[in-house]
Amino acid sequence: MKATVFAAACACILAAAPAVQAQQTVSAEEARQIARDAYTYAYPLVLMEVSGNVATNVAGPTGTTSAPVNQFGHAREFPDPSFTVVVRPNADTLYSSLVFDVSEEPLVITVPDSGGRYYLLPIMDKWTDVFAAPGARTTGTGAQTFAIVGPGWQGTLPDGVERYDSPTADGWIGGRVQTNGKADYAAVHKFQDGLKAVPLSAYGKPYTPPKSKVDPKLDTSAPPDQIEKMDAATFFAKFAEFMKENPPHANDYPIIDRMKRIGIVPGESFTLADQPQHIQEAVRAAPGLHCRG
């Protein structure tokens, strides 16, 4: 019995040894390079989480791009300098934004005929990768209906509903509509009002979007500014937690393998203080190295 326990303990130690050894064999300079690249890789996921929290921290659509999860928010005027949810927004289009969560069921989006007007509805996963882009250039300007489907969902969509599979359960539609000056607002507003989003279970039925709870303590400052204020320990700890619900893409193994060498493993929490000193120093320097390229 004791021999069996001893053998099992040795097996556990040997299984963990490669990860420990990998960290020990990473030089200080290698660790700095890996940490810098890991910060660049992590930034979109962290930014999407922060931006989504800011954009959806409202009870209902506000007449701006802010709206609860799975509901459209429409900008009714061109953005001015006070618009900080998106960095460098277009100044000649009106935005229609939707933060989606399809972890429980697909979300069905109905788009009206734009009458030939150019528009696009790029759909991004939580890593900001655009996996579908319905709109004038790709699917035409006629009326259409599509569903955003989350990972692992198995079911049947109604006839006439195009299926778009999202790599992650959460994501964002950053829609924009051609607007020919302020005199064109009314026509664009009509198109925006025709954009509808409903859960699959409510499709074809009367549906009233639910109100959302507002967190008065949530930081609603510009998302890039929020990230800039994070120290490296906080940034990478958040990144590790976000990866648990939003796994890396299948073609991300090169950066995943490198991140493991400094202790960042998808699906696991990350505490900077638990890492060797030279890795702690490299990770703490990562934000500044990232900014300098």
Same domain? For 149 and 256 the reply is no
Q: What is the DSSP string of 52-64?
A: HHHHT-SSS--SS
pLDDT given for residue 17 in this prediction: 41
CATH code of the domain in which 175 resides: 2.60.40.1610
Is the pLDDT at 275 greater than 90? The verdict is yes
Same domain? For 177 and 71 the reply is yes
Domain presence at residue 85: yes
Domain count, the chain: 2
Domain presence at residue 288: yes
Same domain? For 105 and 178 the reply is yes
Same domain? For 168 and 121 the reply is yes
Same domain? For 155 and 270 the reply is no
Structure confidence by residue, pLDDT tens digits, 187-203: 999 999 999 999 999 99
CA–CA separation, 271 vs 40, rounded Å? 19
What whole-number percentage of the chain has pLDDT above 90? Answer: 82
Domain presence at residue 119: yes
pLDDT given for residue 288 in this prediction: 82
Q: Which residues are registered as beta bridge partners of 197?
A: 109
pLDDT given for residue 62 in this prediction: 87
Same domain? For 194 and 250 the reply is no
Same domain? For 144 and 265 the reply is no
Is the pLDDT at 72 greater than 70? The verdict is yes
Query: What range defines the domain where residue 106 resides?
Result: 54-202
pLDDT given for residue 83 in this prediction: 60
Assigned token pair, 231:
């120290």
pLDDT given for residue 63 in this prediction: 82
Question: By mean pLDDT, which of 37-41, 68-72, 88-92, 169-173 is the weakest?
Answer: 88-92
Domain presence at residue 127: yes
Same domain? For 167 and 261 the reply is no
Domain presence at residue 49: no
pLDDT given for residue 1 in this prediction: 43
Domain presence at residue 271: yes
Domain presence at residue 168: yes
Same domain? For 187 and 253 the reply is no
Is the pLDDT at 115 greater than 50? The verdict is yes
Domain presence at residue 84: yes
Q: In the listed set 202, 222, 255, which residue is the last one of a domain according to the structure? A: 202
**Region 206-223: what's the mean pLDDT?**
94
Q: In the listed set 185, 202, 219, which residue is the last one of a domain according to the structure? A: 202
Write out the E strands in the chain. 73-74, 93-101, 107-111, 119-120, 123-125, 130-132, 144-149, 162-165, 170-178, 196-199
Structure confidence by residue, pLDDT tens digits, 153-168: 999 999 999 999 999 9
Question: By mean pLDDT, which of 45-54, 75-84, 230-239, 270-279 is the weakest?
Answer: 75-84
Is the pLDDT at 73 greater than 90? The verdict is yes
Same domain? For 245 and 197 the reply is no
Output the average pLDDT for the chain.
90
Same domain? For 175 and 258 the reply is no
Is the pLDDT at 6 greater than 50? The verdict is no
Same domain? For 106 and 188 the reply is yes
